[in-house]
A and B are shown apart, each in its own frame.
Chain A
Amino acid sequence: MRYRYVGALISTLFIFALPFVVQAACSANGYSIIFINGIFHTEQEAQSDKNTLAYILPKQINGEPLTVELGYNATHLEGVGDLAQSAFQLLNFSITDYDLRSILRQMYTEVKTRKLLLVGHSQGTLYANSLYSYLTLHGEPREALGVYNVATPASYTAGGGLYLTSKNDVLVTLVAQLAQKLHVSVPLSPNIDIAILPGNTTEFFPGHSFNGAYVAGAKDRIIADISGELRTLIPAFSLDTGDCFAPPDISTGDKVQKVLFAVADPTAAVIRTGVVATYQSVVFVVSTSAGMAQAGYAAADSVFTSVASLLSGPAVNPTAPENAEKNFAVVKKLYGSSVDTNSYRDLNKTQGGAALMALEPESAQTPASSTPEAISSSTSSPVMPVQTSATTTSATTTPFIATSTPVFGGSALPSTTDLASVASSTQDATTSPPAPPTPPTPISSIADTFDSFNLLGWQTFGSNVRNFEFDDGSDGECFHGGCVVGFLSTTSTDLLIPRMYVELPPALDAGAFTVYAKARSGFNSPDTQISLCAGVALGCTDAERINFLNHAAVDNVWHQYYFAWRQGASFVQSCVLEDDSNAADCAWVDTGFTAGTQFDGVALWSTTGYRNDLGANLWFDELQAH
């Protein structure tokens, strides 16, 4: 029994000691391209160049699939190692074959086809030539192999392959001049004239980059050359077995170099960063030391002036005329935009700064007469007196205060606490207790230019909704003056539906209105709707509405809508016109409401939510009774 265990142990040890061998099947069907990048390329550029090559080339050649792979030519010692290697490669020597062998070993498991084209760029062309030599020397048939070189500093293309070098390639031109002086093999002559494109002029070597110069300027030539070369490749073996090529063994030299580069490459990066930083510091110090003296005098002067005014001058007076503009901005922000500069100036003159700061929200106090563009065209609307801090509106007694729903002014109404705290923050208002509010006065007409905030639009209906906001027109979006907009800020991302309705007391049997609407599409679109409400007090529900628009235009253009209703024989009848306000054009249709139903509100809304932050929005303007 004991021996059985020993045997099992030995068997286990033996099995685990066996290497796992992966056999790469090489297919006669299909084509592979290995793209080999040049030096001074970031890794991202190498990847991008390879992807670009795959993008421009056909996906099939002779009905067989084409794949593009990356033979990554790593940068060593921050490019210095590659420069030295390139110099030796141009002389047909090599300092080290480490990169070449690495590419071969890495590609061994990746290449799956017998037909293989090596595409090099810049220093990668030297590797492409070397890879071709290695592969042919290790038994790969020349008929199945090809090389195509772009921006090549080499004096030949292995296997008699094609190449592409631009007359305007600054790097290859430099290499050619240098080679001539040193009497060594000069690069292949330029065979295309690619203009240096605007985006390529700022590069270190203009006219040399694969994407920015060659593909951008000679895409069709590259496609034709590569496709032509691929078509000439013939697989020597028709069986889909065996490896595509024999990889080099990992020598001790490779292991040593791997360790060396693993240490030296990051070290070189640190050294380069240090050198660059030192250089930049020196340049900075030299270039700024002269200017610093001047700046120092100016700064000192500024500090002295500030300190002197602080010590000798009075404290900043918020009601001082020179601060009027600043105060107005604060008041406007707090109370909405119907507080215009004229009314502000009047208030400031008569009430003083404290009274201004203790103002209740403009909705309940700004007299229509002081803001002629403000609300109704009706002359019978009683106006609210301007209230001082002694009559500050309570937050609990009227719906529009109780909710903090944003109103036309664009900001949430401050609560009593907020108002009190604002008031107490000013010198004159600290003793003024909040007073009970005056309820909003019913409005007998709903006509509204929406040029300023007023009471008309505070109400919403339905769920998941928000009120429209006031747009003062400064953004150029309104039809005339101010208007209402679903979302004033483009950062709004909630999917609440902008809805508002305006009351029409008393309820009417018949009437007609016009309103302008503009809807803009973005990721999605608002669904513009204009409705008449048969019961605003009940929430203007689906059963209590005439919806006039089914598919309003979403074209970012203002359209005028005429909508009307009247009592028919059995049912209420409705009419809607677009960009036409002539009642004579109406085609009256029966609604579902029985004759005698009265309507007491107009709803302006979107039936669906939309993404304002992705461009969609909805505006209404100039609601007028007819």
Chain B
Amino acid sequence: MKSRLLQLWLVARWPLGVLLFLYVGLVLYRIPAVGEKQKTATAVAYIHAQKITLADAVGEHLPPMPDVEVNNRTVAGIDVNQNGIRDDVEIAIFKAYPNSPQIRAAELQSAMVQQMFLTQVFNTETWKAAAQEDSRSDACIGLTTKDFKTYMSRTNEVKDLVFNTEIRKKQEKYSYSFTTSYGSLQDSPCDIDTSEL
């Protein structure tokens, strides 16, 4: 019995060796793709994890207005308080709605999402994640008004603030080149309960 198994092994070892070799080759070939997949999974998780906080909405850590030239030098711009919302956009929203924390919260949420279109989207999966969050934030803005024109004006207002330079518009276009079909999230539209404000 033992000798028969040995004979079988002597015959099968070469084909198995070839298979193993091919498998290792395939693994090596797939390493970049797997790396990309992991990178994508990390970015998608990051996009969905970004939420504004109550402190953001009430302006607890409101940043100073950044230097325009420095801020516009890069796609990402300046975000001193590191809340995911570009400082110039954050200030502009507070300036536009000093007395309405609900509208501020909704627009800040949208601003954070638009910023992710600039900084986090690099393939279809990441675009989809950002688009899902965009749908949520637009729906959150929708909760601040029943008037269609006002809704459109508020959603566009944020996009105009975020995509305000040529390099940012180009990056937005690049990001949207990954547009695909997608389904909406079932989560609550707003990151924070605006009734608390």
Please list 10 pairs of residues, one from A and one from B, whose beta carbons are closer than 8 Å in the complex, sorted by A's number. Answer: A13-B19, A44-B176, A46-B179, A56-B148, A72-B179, A106-B182, A110-B182, A216-B148, A216-B149, A493-B65
Query: Does A74 interact with chain B (Cβ within 8 Å)?
Result: yes
What are the residues of chain B within 8 A of A211 when measuring CB–CB? Answer: 152
Size category, A interface: 35 or more
Cross-interface CB contact of A47 among B19, B59, B179, cutoff 8 Å: B179
Q: Are B135 and A50 in contact (CB under 8 A)?
A: yes
Query: Does A465 interact with chain B (Cβ within 8 Å)?
Result: no
> Which residues of B from 148 to 171 have beta carbons under 8 Å from A?
148-149, 151-152, 155, 159
Q: Are B65 and A67 in contact (CB under 8 A)?
A: no
- Cα A68 to Cα B181 in complex, Å, equals 11
Q: Are A67 and B177 in contact (CB under 8 A)?
A: no
Query: Does B183 interact with chain A (Cβ within 8 Å)?
Result: yes
Cross-interface CB contact of A69 among B64, B177, B179, B181, cutoff 8 Å: B181
Query: Does B77 interact with chain A (Cβ within 8 Å)?
Result: no
- Cα A54 to Cα B155 in complex, Å, equals 14
Q: Would you give the shortest CB distance from A352 to chain B, in whole angstroms?
A: 40
Q: Are B176 and A42 in contact (CB under 8 A)?
A: yes
Q: Would you give the shortest CB distance from B144 to chain A, in whole angstroms?
A: 11
Cross-interface CB contact of A614 among B20, B91, B134, cutoff 8 Å: B91
Q: Are B16 and A523 in contact (CB under 8 A)?
A: no
Q: Are A9 and B91 in contact (CB under 8 A)?
A: no
- With CB as the reference atom, state the residue of chain A lying closest to B99: A521
What are the residues of chain B within 8 A of A44 when measuring CB–CB? Answer: 159, 172, 176
Q: Are B5 and A3 in contact (CB under 8 A)?
A: yes
Seen from chain A, the residues whose Cβ lies within 8 Å of a Cβ on chain B are 2-3, 6, 9-10, 13, 32, 34, 42-44, 46-48, 50-52, 54-56, 65, 67-72, 74, 102-103, 106-107, 109-112, 211, 215-216, 219, 491, 493-494, 521-524, 611, 613-615
Query: Does B76 interact with chain A (Cβ within 8 Å)?
Result: no
The majority secondary structure among interface residues of chain B is helix
Query: Does B180 interact with chain A (Cβ within 8 Å)?
Result: yes
What are the residues of chain B within 8 A of A32 when measuring CB–CB? Answer: 183
Cross-interface CB contact of B9 among A6, A67, A614, A615, cutoff 8 Å: A6
Known contacts A47-B134, A494-B64, A615 near B98 by CB under 8 Å: yes
Q: Mark B124-155, 1 if CB is under 8 A from A, else 0.
A: 00000001001100110010000011011001
Q: Mark B13-46, 1 if CB is under 8 A from A, else 0.
A: 0001001100100000000000000000000000
Query: Does B186 interact with chain A (Cβ within 8 Å)?
Result: yes
Q: Would you give the shortest CB distance from B118 to chain A, in whole angstroms?
A: 13
Besides A56-B148, A614-B98, 5 other CB < 8 A contacts? A44-B176, A47-B179, A48-B138, A69-B184, A71-B181
Cross-interface CB contact of A72 among B98, B139, B142, B180, cutoff 8 Å: B180
- Cα A522 to Cα B151 in complex, Å, equals 23
Q: Are A43 and B152 in contact (CB under 8 A)?
A: no
Q: Would you give the shortest CB distance from A484 to chain B, in whole angstroms?
A: 23
Seen from chain B, the residues whose Cβ lies within 8 Å of a Cβ on chain A are 5, 9, 16, 19-20, 23, 59, 62, 64-65, 91, 94-95, 98-99, 131, 134-135, 138-139, 142, 148-149, 151-152, 155, 159, 172, 176-177, 179-184, 186
Q: Are A614 and B183 in contact (CB under 8 A)?
A: no
- Cα A215 to Cα B152 in complex, Å, equals 11
What are the residues of chain A within 8 A of B19 when measuring CB–CB? Answer: 13
Q: Are B62 and A523 in contact (CB under 8 A)?
A: yes
- Cα A48 to Cα B95 in complex, Å, equals 25
- With CB as the reference atom, state the residue of chain A lying closest to B97: A523
What are the residues of chain B within 8 A of A110 when measuring CB–CB? Answer: 181-183
Cross-interface CB contact of B138 among A13, A43, A55, cutoff 8 Å: A55
Q: Are A43 and B98 in contact (CB under 8 A)?
A: no
Q: Are B181 and A51 in contact (CB under 8 A)?
A: no
Cross-interface CB contact of A613 among B23, B65, B135, cutoff 8 Å: B65
Question: Which A-B residue pairs are the 8 nearest by beta carbons?
Answer: A110-B183, A106-B181, A493-B64, A43-B179, A43-B176, A51-B138, A523-B98, A55-B142
What are the residues of chain B within 8 A of A69 when measuring CB–CB? Answer: 181-184
- Cα A106 to Cα B124 in complex, Å, equals 11
Known contacts A10-B16, A51-B135, A70 near B181 by CB under 8 Å: yes
Q: Would you give the shortest CB distance from B197 to chain A, in whole angstroms?
A: 14
Q: Are A611 and B62 in contact (CB under 8 A)?
A: yes
Q: Are A54 and B64 in contact (CB under 8 A)?
A: no
Q: Are B138 and A70 in contact (CB under 8 A)?
A: no
